[in-house]
Structure 1
Amino acid sequence: MRFFGWSWSLGRWRDVDIRFHVSMVLTLPIAYWLFGPIDLRSWVEALLWVGGLTLFIFLHEFGHAFAAKIVGVEVKSIVVWLLGGLTNLAYKPEKPTHNFFIYAAGPLMNMLLAFLCVAAYVLLTLVFLPLAKDRELYIWLQTFQNLFFSLALVNVILVTFNLIPVYPLDGGNILHASMEWLFGKTNADRITLAVGIPCLILLIIFGVVSRDWLLLIFCVLIAFSISSLNHTLLKNLNLALTYFFRRSAYYYLKGDYERAANMYASQIESQPENPRHYMTRAGCYLSMGQKERSLADVERVLKMHPNHLLALELRGEFYCPYTGSKTPAFRRQFSTPQ
């Protein structure tokens, strides 16, 4: 994904590229908002919290990568980003037991980290704080006590969120792997959808009520991923988005070519130098069997851009003895119009 290209490499581990996404910079204002640092101690606490969060996200993804290495799956890269992370596998294992092991490793890593943070918190509370006689030392120990408590809470949140049974979260992948092992892939897709969609709706409602726009954006990404389990759902989701953001493409996908052509004509009036509008209107005309009007739009594009590859290909196919209302180039380009 292009989004994950906005990152820089921190190094390699056993041929795995470790990358840090630019979105992690946002952890700094988040930490400032949470801790409101006003002195050295509070600044140290806030910065250590940012470092701990980054480390825990990395170790979560490292758990996935390490498990993948164990079952013989090549790992291309690990990307640490604000809403979790991404372990880029060379391929998805065929065995559901391997998938289960890989996706369960991340939450298990956070469970272990939460336990270690709680252990550090208890040790500070029961051992070091009672022994501290110096006031300054006592205050610093309290700072680290609060830090370990908040870091333990971070790991609990990471475990809880990742185990929500919504694909492609770890919980959704664990559910899918379990159901595939028991009932086969087709039934696993259906069960994962049946469980995941209600959970996703609840997440969206929570995001709206709490006005958590970051969560809502994440829910949109989840919706696209979960729809990949069902082509009909993916098509309907694409239709819904095109209705709001590309209305002309929506009418095209619905088969209302005349209305789509009229909307593209309006876009041509506002942007007469944009060849894309002419090409998409040409697609509408061709779908309605109006080859002359379609060819006219193609010729307009070639007049503006003589080396426009698609226009050249379409014009060539107009003059070849191809039967049917849609040429091969048309089918490739206009299956999803712009």
Structure 2
Amino acid sequence: MRNYRIANIWGIPIQLNISLLIFLPVLVWLIAATGQIEVYASIIDGLSSAPLDAEGLQEGLNPWLIGTAAAVGLFFSVAVHELGHAYAARRYGIGIRSITLWIFGGLASLESMPREWDREFWIAIAGPVTSVLLAGVFFGALQVVPASLPLVVFVVGWLAVINVTLAIFNMLPAFPMDGGRILRALLARSRSYASATRTAARVGTIFALLFAIIGVLSWNPVLILIAFFVYGTATTESRTTMLDELLTGVTARDVMDTTVRSVSADTSVADFTDRLLRDRQTEFVVVDSTDDVVGFVTLSALKRIDRDIYETTSVREVMETDVPAVEPSTPAFDVLVAMRNGPLVLVVEGDEQIGTVSRRDLGRVMDLRKQLGAGQPFERVAM
């Protein structure tokens, strides 16, 4: 989904995902028209020095003004929560690519995830701590807002309460919430990072199941969506860590195919088909007349065109133009990440193309290390 940059803080792009723009009116409605104002008014009345008239808050356009201000304030609070993570990460020298606000809250995209348990612990807990501190700021403001501004009293009080709620909710031990990362960090003190991730992911799936059950019984669509999101994230986190473990210590040079199989961009698809059968390969680098790489072509590309035009269609017309390139020393896991948009990565040393890495190459290494044990050293074998 598309993101829109709305600000830059500490050099970090703050992005607004389109899903939030769609969800924001729903959130306004949930606050304004589902009885929440009356519920929270009684809580805020006990926190504020200024008495609140719950009936007055619900007259005319007041609920919609409150809902709009509260919804915007909530996502401001989420942004500050994510900035807390960013501040802690920077203290450890970890860069932040961006902070994205979306339907499920916020996401600080770190350039790398720390493997040291104490670093992950402090980065993860910095978000909830920031939310509690922000709640304290709103609580302090609540004491000085005059009773003549009841809408402001309510919104400020609501933000004080909701930031404490945000901190508590994020402490639940389920990925991608901070509590899941805190749990993994604590588990990693006495076991491997991969084992800690698997255990934390299992706990996350249990919480996802609980969210789903509660969401269905209370017919809460938002909670059901959160359940699916938590389950998917916990599963992805576990799988990603397993792949990272299997590829630890392996570089692009270790797994690359040193034969760069290339085909001219002007070759007909018919001739390319003969080449596929002859070489028994399914991925080729595409080069122009000066032997510069201009794309890659695979067997699957041929399935998108009619056989009747194989003779009159060139490889240039069916190739993919985005060919990621890596250095020989690039960790294999980073090669896998670079491969997300295609099946092939070019290995370049200086100006020379020295090999390629395909999903098949990485799959062979992962399968071998899985059978031997991921901790086994990897030695280069000619491919």
TM-score bin (small chain): 0.5 to 0.7
In structure 2, the residue matched to 1:150 is: 158
Q: What's the offset of the Cα at 1:192?
A: 1.0
Give runs of aligned pairs for residues 238-257 of structure 1, distance below 5 A: none
Q: Which one has the bigger strand percentage?
A: 2
1:88 aligns with 2:109: yes
Give runs of aligned pairs for residues 153-168 of structure 1, distance below 5 A: 153-168=161-176
Q: Please state whether the residue corresponding to 2:113 is helix, strand or coil.
A: coil
Give identity over the alignment, percent. 24
Q: What's the offset of the Cα at 1:21?
A: 1.7
Q: What's the offset of the Cα at 1:182?
A: 2.9
Aligned equivalents of 2:181, 2:304: Cα separation in 1: 50
AA aligned to 2:20 is M
Q: What's the offset of the Cα at 1:330?
A: 10
Give runs of aligned pairs for residues 161-180 of structure 1, distance below 5 A: 161-180=169-188
Structure 1 gaps of 5+ residues are: 130-136, 235-293, 311-327
In structure 1, the residue matched to 2:78 is: 57
In structure 2, the residue matched to 1:190 is: 198
Query: Would the aligned equivalents of 2:184 and 2:200 in 1 still touch at CA under 8 Å?
Result: yes
1:105 aligns with 2:126: yes
AA aligned to 1:63 is G
2:225 is aligned, of 217, 223, 233, to: 217
1:201 is aligned, of 203, 206, 209, to: 209
Q: What's the offset of the Cα at 1:74?
A: 0.6
Q: Please state whether the residue corresponding to 2:188 is helix, strand or coil.
A: helix
Query: Would the aligned equivalents of 2:115 and 2:193 in 1 still touch at CA under 8 Å?
Result: no
Give runs of aligned pairs for residues 1-338 of structure 1, distance below 5 A: 3=1, 6-25=2-21, 26-36=23-33, 39=60, 41-124=62-145, 128-129=146-147, 137=148, 140=149, 142-231=150-239, 301-303=306-308, 306=313, 307=315, 308=318
Please, what TM-score do these two structures have when normalized by structure 2?
0.55
Q: Is the alpha carbon distance of 1:71 and 1:143 closer, same or farther for their aligned partners in structure 2, counting shifts above 3 Å?
A: same
Query: Would the aligned equivalents of 2:12 and 2:96 in 1 still touch at CA under 8 Å?
Result: yes
Aligned equivalents of 1:42, 1:216: Cα separation in 2: 26
Q: Please state whether the residue corresponding to 1:27 is helix, strand or coil.
A: helix
Structure 2 gaps of 5+ residues are: 34-57, 243-298, 321-356, 365-383
Q: Is the alpha carbon distance of 1:14 and 1:112 closer, same or farther for their aligned partners in structure 2, counting shifts above 3 Å?
A: closer
Q: Please state whether the residue corresponding to 1:227 is helix, strand or coil.
A: helix
Q: Is the alpha carbon distance of 1:41 and 1:189 closer, same or farther for their aligned partners in structure 2, counting shifts above 3 Å?
A: closer
Please, what TM-score do these two structures have when normalized by structure 1?
0.61
Query: Would the aligned equivalents of 1:9 and 1:18 in 2 still touch at CA under 8 Å?
Result: yes
Q: What's the offset of the Cα at 1:78?
A: 0.6
Aligned equivalents of 1:119, 1:12: Cα separation in 2: 27
Q: What's the offset of the Cα at 1:175?
A: 0.6
Q: Please state whether the residue corresponding to 1:167 is helix, strand or coil.
A: coil
Q: RMSD between aligned alpha carbons?
A: 3.6
Q: What's the offset of the Cα at 1:106?
A: 0.8
Q: Is the alpha carbon distance of 1:304 and 1:97 closer, same or farther for their aligned partners in structure 2, counting shifts above 3 Å?
A: farther
Aligned equivalents of 1:117, 1:51: Cα separation in 2: 15
With CA pairs under 8 Å and 6+ residues apart, which has the higher RCO, 1 or 2?
2
Aligned equivalents of 1:116, 1:13: Cα separation in 2: 20
Query: Would the aligned equivalents of 1:15 and 1:76 in 2 still touch at CA under 8 Å?
Result: no
Find runs of 4+ consecutive structure 1 residues off by over 6 angstroms.
297-300
